[in-house]
Amino acid sequence: MKNRLKRHPFLALALSGIVMIAAGIAAYRTNTRLQTSDAEPVFIFDLGGVLIETSGIGIAREVGLRHFFFYGVREGFRGIRERLQGRMFELLETLGKQTAINGTLAQYNGLPLPDIMCRWQRGEMTSQELIAQATRKMKELKKQNWFNSNREYKLIKKLIKASLSPVHAEHTKIIPQGLALLEQCKRAGYRVYVLSNYDYESFAVLQEKFPEIFSRIDGYVVSGQVGCMKPDPLIYAHLLDKFRLCPHQCYFIDNQSENIQAAEALGITGLLCEDKQFGSINACLNEQVFAETITA
C-alpha cells in the first residue's frame, strides 16, 4: 500500500483530504451534540387552544342568542356548535378547497380549513374581502336552495361576520392552565415564544387584549405577518431563523396534531394539548426540564 501511494502522490493527497473531512464532520457532529445538550430549553406556545380560547357565549351574544335558540328548536340543540361550524366550512369550500402542503392540511377542530380561510390567515386578504366574497356566494347558493332553511341562511351569515373578523378576537379569554405554564417557564429563566395562525388584524386585537401574555414572551411569529401558516415547515423555519434557535432545544405546545408532527419533523419536541388538558404536558416538563432547574 505504501509503495502504491508513493507511485500515486495524488491518491495519497486525496486520501489524506478524505480523512481530514471525515474528522471535521465527526468533530462538527460532536460539537453540535454538545451545544444541543448544553443549550437551555426554549418554549414555543400556540395561542388558540393553548393560551387563549373563544368564548362561545360571547360569539352567541354577538350573533344574537335568539337566532341560535330558534335554529336549535328547528334543527335540534345537540351538537349545534359543531354542526354550524361544519355547514359554514362547507359553504366556504364552495369558494375553493385547501391545497395540502407535504400531504398535510391545516385544520380547525378536526376539519380542514377552507382555502379562503387559509388565505385570510396568511395575510393574503382582509377580513372585509373574505366576508364580501362569502356573502356574494351565499346569495348565489340561496337561489339554489343550498340552505336547509332561511333561518340557517341568516344564522350562518351572522356567524361568518362574527367569526372571520377581528370581532372574533374580542370574544376570546385566557386559558388559566396555559398561562400558568408560560409563567412557570419564565420564572425558571427560559425564553418563551408564540407561533400562531392568526390574521394580522385579529392578532393586533389580541396583543392589546392580553398584556399578561405579550408582556412576558420574548417574541412571536404569526401567519398573517409572514405569509405562511402551520403546518407548513416554512413558518417553523422562519421562527427558528428569526430568533436563532436550535430545533433540538425547543419544546412546542400546540392543540393540533398535524402542527405537532410538522414541528417534530424539524427536530422540535412536540407536546400536544388536547381539550385544554395540561396534565401530561406538565408531567413531561417537570421530569425533563423543571426538575433540573430545581436541583441546579
Average pLDDT over residues 202-220: 98
> 265 pLDDT exceeds 50?
yes
Give dist(CA 96, CA 25) in Å, integer: 48
Structural domains of the chain, with CATH = 39-52+171-295 (3.40.50.1000), 56-169 (no CATH)
> 33 pLDDT exceeds 50?
no
Q: Answer yes or no: are the C-beta atoms of 229 and 223 closer than 8 Å.
A: yes
- Cα 184 to chain centroid, rounded: 21
Give pTM, 2 decimals.
0.84
Tell me the C-alpha to C-alpha distance, in Å, between residue 194 and each of 215, 222, 240. Answer: 12, 8, 12
85-90 long-range contacts, CB within 8 A, separation 24+: 85/109, 85/111, 86/111, 87/152, 87/156, 88/156, 88/159, 88/160, 88/163, 89/113, 89/114
Give dist(CA 112, CA 97) in Å, integer: 9
Lowest mean pLDDT among 52-56, 75-79, 85-89, 114-118: 75-79
Q: What is the pLDDT of residues 91-116, one digit of tens each?
A: 999 999 998 887 888 998 888 999 99
> 278 pLDDT exceeds 60?
yes
For residue 49, the one-letter residue type is: G
Give dist(CA 206, CA 170) in Å, integer: 8
What pLDDT shows up at residue 100? 85
The model's confidence at residue 38, banded by pLDDT at 50, 70 and 90, is: low
Give dist(CA 264, CA 259) in Å, integer: 9
Q: What is the pLDDT of residues 130-155, one digit of tens each?
A: 999 999 999 999 999 999 999 999 99
The model's confidence at residue 81, banded by pLDDT at 50, 70 and 90, is: confident
The model's confidence at residue 292, banded by pLDDT at 50, 70 and 90, is: low
What pLDDT shows up at residue 75? 86
> 236 pLDDT exceeds 80?
yes
Q: Answer yes or no: are the C-beta atoms of 222 and 207 closer than 8 Å.
A: no
- DSSP code of residue 40: P
Q: Answer yes or no: are the C-beta atoms of 35 and 246 closer than 8 Å.
A: yes
For the beta carbon of residue 238, count every other beta carbon within 10 angstroms. 18
The model's confidence at residue 48, banded by pLDDT at 50, 70 and 90, is: very high
Q: Answer yes or no: are the C-beta atoms of 80 and 159 closer than 8 Å.
A: no
Q: What percent of the chain has pLDDT over 90?
A: 72
- DSSP code of residue 125: S
Phi-psi region of 290 (alpha: psi -120 to 50; beta: other; left: phi over 0): alpha
For residue 235, the one-letter residue type is: I
What pLDDT shows up at residue 137? 97
185-190 long-range contacts, CB within 8 A, separation 24+: 185/43, 186/216, 188/289, 188/290, 188/293, 189/40, 189/293, 190/40, 190/41, 190/42, 190/43, 190/289
Residues 6 or more apart in contact with residue 190 via CB below 8 angstroms? 40, 41, 42, 43, 289
The C-alpha cell of 167 is what?
370581532
What pLDDT shows up at residue 293? 52
Q: Answer yes or no: are the C-beta atoms of 194 and 45 closer than 8 Å.
A: yes
Lowest mean pLDDT among 21-30, 70-79, 88-97, 139-148: 21-30
> 129 pLDDT exceeds 60?
yes
What pLDDT shows up at residue 229? 97
The C-alpha cell of 94 is what?
364552495
The model's confidence at residue 2, banded by pLDDT at 50, 70 and 90, is: very low
Residue among 49, 35, 87 at smallest CA distance from 175: 49
